Chain A
Amino acid sequence: MAVTTLTYGQRLDALRAAKLEQTREKQEVLGAMDHDDWAVVLPPPELREVIDAISGSGEPITDCIYKGWHPQSNHPSGGFFGPRAVGDNYRDFLEHHPVYIDPNSSLAGAYMFNFMSYRKPYWNPDFDYSHLQPDQEKYQLIHGIGGSQHFCQDLQIGLDLGWQGLLEKIRRYRKLNYPHGHDFYHGIGSVVHGVQDWIRRHADAARAMAERETDPVLRRNLEEIAAMNAHLVTEPPRTFRDACQWILWYQMVARMFNGSGSLGQLDVLLAPYYERDTAAGLLTDEEAIFHIACLLLRDTAYIQLGGPDADGRDVTNHLSYLVLEAGHRLGIPANIGVSVGEGIDPGLLQRGVEIIVGDRHGYPKFLGSDHVVAGTVRNGVPLEAARQRTYSGCHWSAIPGREYGLMDIVKINFGAVFDVALRDMLAGERAPHTLDALWERFVHHLARAVAVVAEGLDVHMAHMHDVFPELVLDLCCHGPIEKGLDASHGGVEFYLLGVDGAALATVADSFAAIEQRVVREGRLTWEDLLRHLDADWAGPDGERARLMMSSVPRFGHGNTPADDYAWRISEAFSALVTAKPTPAGFRMVPGLFSWALTIAMGARLGATPNGRRAGEPISQGANPHPGFRKDGAPTALAVAVAAVQPGYGNTAPLQIDLEPSIASDEAARSQIASLIRTHFDLGGTQINMNVLDTQKLLEAYEDPSKYPDLVVRVTGFSAYFSSLSPEFRKMVVDRVLAAESA
């Protein structure tokens, strides 16, 4: 009798199919998801309650919470604040969280809820910052007060200690520091107890499932899962598979707690286990790839492959390739970055390009190590630490376990600042209406916006530990447990607070349009311009005026006034952000990135002189507006974005969409590889790339259900195209079509 046994390939196919089905169900229940896919799995229908919430990155989302579970409030506002309340509630939440085991997966667990969605109110109203609100409103600032995670833990700490070891460490330092940090230690300890309970229930469930399972391969798998997790409740991982499972528990607990997706250097973390197991004959590459795929399946964490270690030596290893391969075989949204730079194994770039051209899933992304490291040093960070800064979020990096950054949260919309500046200048009766005066007002208001952000950051840094401390990331950082201080409160070594600019091209093009049409050619008066902006280009002469302003050569074309303005704006912004720390002494670091907020920030902004209508999206990150050149040349784009880098180690990613039919696959691979290398040589810091089949994209735009598995890189994150809202789908399609019109 022929015995058929399930292969890893078949199991992966089954897991992928289950994932697609779960995604379809999420689309039905939650509607559009304009964010990272996260891999959250819906709870059973009887436990679902759909609500409006705020995500870990501070954007409004529709979310599904645990029906019937409520956190205990410790405040008249109805909220729960501070380490004790947060830790106890999270423990209770974990103790209620359902068990999820897919017998095809080698790892147990899936997460179903965002704890953050219970954070209502989001901020403790006792810590008042209403004095900042008028200016925050005036400049439409995304101020980041109350924002969480967006830095990177050092998983090595947890892998070495295991959950019980972490608990003992907490007890040891609690005793040592008593009575300091009493609530903090209580809260962080509660989290560990909650995690242990969740893991233990999975071990029990796997054992029960194994008894019922008829397929011999799956039964054995379930037995292994049961044994592995019974061990991991307390002990550190021993094997490669154990380590994957441990990291998955930690990552899911961090993700649920406050949206953290920072995983860091997976190839380095897993290397010792891989070496030990393969040497002992316990692990093949196929098995390793499968375990990694099972890990990636359950969270779309941000991972860096390759890159320098503290001494500047490249860490690329065989496992870097296996992780890359696992993401490739999965074919679902994934946020894995390949390091590119001096001394880094070029094979990794080559393999990454092969995959992105072959798969057309916007996977992987590419990280410019050299300028991230060099820029980080400019903040006074020692070189050894700067080298270890690891890609761990949409567009950002952090030194694992040693840096708190609040990255990718604070956004200054240059468009809103420009609007204030233009109106300010035109309102002054005596002031001359000149370009110089406008520039002076723009820099003046930009400075004010940065100052308001700085004051807001101080509010955050002073109170966040008492609002919603980082009880999960703290577990694997160097300092918080030792010092009894949350990472947001002095627990770690480096504080580099990210402050991003947005709408660079919108404003550069606006300056250039005014220079040409109003100042040089005199085709429009300043007053006419203001009238058109107020009327959103309505009226008999409105559309013509709009076209007149939008037909001026734009940033990205190369050698135009708009290119100069973009550079000047970036320079001025960087200078203002780095000129001085916040009043409380925290260093701020400039970046250029608008993330998923490109649409939301545009929606709030009135018409702009570049011919943009009120409410339309602002330009994306450091990118030019789509249509910046007739030939849409990727090289022009790469030159333009390299030229406006803020230069302090936080990135201004290049978002680039390519059509693979440009040439044969082989020629495309070689051209794309040299495009990537050259952008980084020119100063670039990160590349988010799609290599897309335009026809397929257009068909999916007409009918998203036609290609449920089409994955696109929206910006720093990747997502199923069918999960995006119509506005986001349009943004991606517009970008691709503009690049195509060549």
Chain B
Amino acid sequence: MIRGTVFDIQRFSVHDGPGIRSTVFLKGCSLRCFWCHNPEGIRPQPEIQFEPDKCIGCGECVLVCPQGAQLLDGDQRVFVRDRCDACGQCVETCYAGALSLVGRAMAVEDVLAEVMQDRPFYDSSGGGVTLSGGEPVLQTEFARALLARLQAGDVHTAIETAGYYPWERLETLLPHIDLVMMDLKQMDSARHRAATGAPNERILQTARRLAQTAIPVIFRVPVIPTVNDTPGAIRAIAAFVGELSALRGAALPLELLPFHRLAESKYTSLGREYAARSLPASVEHFAELQTVVQEYGF
């Protein structure tokens, strides 16, 4: 049986496509965007999340950890992340909910059992199910099996992708997808690489290939200070999407998404540095950038 690594299923998702949706978050990503809103989705393997403010200091996790990753040092509870193999035994015993396992192996049936509970709401609102991540396309086989089942059940399907993978992976999913929401971040490949760890050529290639299909696509730009929050950077992306529209012979939508710092506590709980901490929580001239996009007819 195909299993996927799922790190969350959110019902009543309202930012991930039309209508009332459920979003299935698949773990693992090929980019390393320093501001990532879902840092728990970056690594493909399950990992332990620790929220210190929920810990009651009972020490049960220390007793059960077979790796010696959970330690008590005097009064101080210490989590040695390097030793942890995410077996999850500590999570079982952490009733306070301070420890949680991010990433569960789930069969398609398991996911369906959860998301189909909201089927009547999808129908009444024009919603459906969205695969997000991480980069959902990387779990290609699982994503295809899940999308096919949803499609067979007449559920509207959408996917949120960053486009950094061999085209064939997305191509095999497309017959089962009703809407693609694709991120574009920076047209300058060197700057793209500095911000995300990867050059942008393959991503732009994915976008072009997508434009040549008939599948509805929405391009989205997370507006990130220091990365792309200038009229010039946005203009370049808008011009590119304009070219794509010409390729398709129809206007493709482009949306800007404002930056927020809501992910900060997630970084802490995963023992990672939040490199976007010093960025301002909002882009002051977001409205101005919106008008740039509008100039291009979006």
Contact = CB atoms under 8 A, between A and B. Distances in A.
A628 to B, nearest CB: 12
A328 to B, nearest CB: 24
Given A551-B95, A551-B97, A559-B114, A674 B121 contact: yes
Contacts of B10: 631, 633, 742
A629 B20 CA distance: 17
A573 B216 CA distance: 50
Interface string B92-135: 00011100000000000000011001101101110100000000
Interface residues of B, number: 24
A635 B19 contact: no
B117 A636 contact: yes
B147 to A, nearest CB: 21
A514 B60 CA distance: 21
Given A543-B56, A633-B12, A663-B15, A671 B120 contact: no
Contacts of B117: 558-559, 635-636, 639
A547 interface: yes
Interface of B: 8, 10-12, 14-15, 19-20, 56, 58, 60, 95-97, 113-114, 117-118, 120-121, 123-125, 127
B19 A674 contact: yes
B12 A636 contact: yes
Most buried by A among B20, B95, B117: B95
B29 to A, nearest CB: 21
B156 to A, nearest CB: 13
A547 B14 contact: no
Contacts of A662: 14
Contacts of A667: 14
Contacts of B60: 544
Q: Which 10 A-B pairs have the closest CB atoms?
A: A633-B11, A674-B125, A547-B95, A633-B12, A674-B124, A548-B95, A663-B14, A635-B118, A678-B124, A551-B95
A668 B19 CA distance: 9
B19 A678 contact: no
A181 to B, nearest CB: 53
Most buried by A among B8, B97, B125: B125
Contacts of A209: none
Given A559-B113, A631-B8, A663-B15, 5 more contacts: A547-B96, A551-B95, A631-B10, A633-B10, A682-B120
Main secondary structure of the interface of A (DSSP, over half): helix
A681 B19 CA distance: 17
A681 B124 contact: yes
B114 A558 contact: yes
25 contacts: A544-B95, A547-B95, A547-B97, A548-B95, A551-B96, A559-B114, A629-B11, A633-B11, A635-B20, A638-B121, A639-B118, A662-B14, A663-B14, A667-B14, A670-B19, A670-B125, A671-B125, A674-B19, A674-B121, A674-B125, A675-B20, A675-B121, A677-B124, A678-B125, A681-B120
Contacts of A543: 56
A547 B82 CA distance: 28
A193 to B, nearest CB: 55
A742 B15 CA distance: 13
B26 to A, nearest CB: 17
Contacts of B96: 547, 551
Contacts of B127: 674
A681 B192 CA distance: 49
B86 to A, nearest CB: 19
Contacts of A544: 56, 58, 60, 95
A681 B121 CA distance: 10
Contacts of A631: 8, 10-12
Nearest to B23: A631
A650 B56 CA distance: 44
B278 to A, nearest CB: 24
A675 B11 CA distance: 12
Interface string A549-591: 0110000001100000000000000000000000000000000
A551 B100 CA distance: 12
Contact of B19 (A550, A551, A671, A682): A671
A634 interface: yes
Nearest to B58: A544
Contacts, number: 73
A638 B127 CA distance: 16
Contacts of A548: 95
Interface in A479-535: none
A480 B262 CA distance: 63
Nearest to B60: A544
Most buried by A among B10, B11, B56, B97: B11
B12 A634 contact: yes
A677 B11 CA distance: 17
Contacts of B19: 670-671, 674
A742 B9 CA distance: 11
A353 to B, nearest CB: 12
A636 B22 CA distance: 11
A510 to B, nearest CB: 16
Contact of B11 (A636, A670, A671, A681): A636
Contacts of B11: 629, 631, 633, 635-636
Contacts of A558: 114, 117
Contacts of B97: 547, 551
A129 to B, nearest CB: 45
Given A544-B56, A547-B95, A677-B124, A671 B14 contact: yes
Contacts of A674: 19-20, 121, 124-125, 127
Nearest to B18: A667
Contacts of B8: 631
A671 B19 CA distance: 6
Contacts of B113: 559
Contacts of A633: 10-12, 118
Given A548-B95, A551-B95, A671-B20, A635 B14 contact: no
A186 B114 CA distance: 64
Contacts of B58: 544
A550 B114 CA distance: 22
A97 B253 CA distance: 67
A109 to B, nearest CB: 44
A682 B119 CA distance: 11
Nearest to B100: A630
A559 to B, nearest CB: 6
A583 B96 CA distance: 49
A695 B253 CA distance: 33
B227 to A, nearest CB: 25
A670 B20 CA distance: 9
Nearest to B96: A547
Interface in A95-144: none
Contacts of A677: 124
B58 to A, nearest CB: 5
B196 to A, nearest CB: 27
Contacts of A670: 19, 125
B6 to A, nearest CB: 14
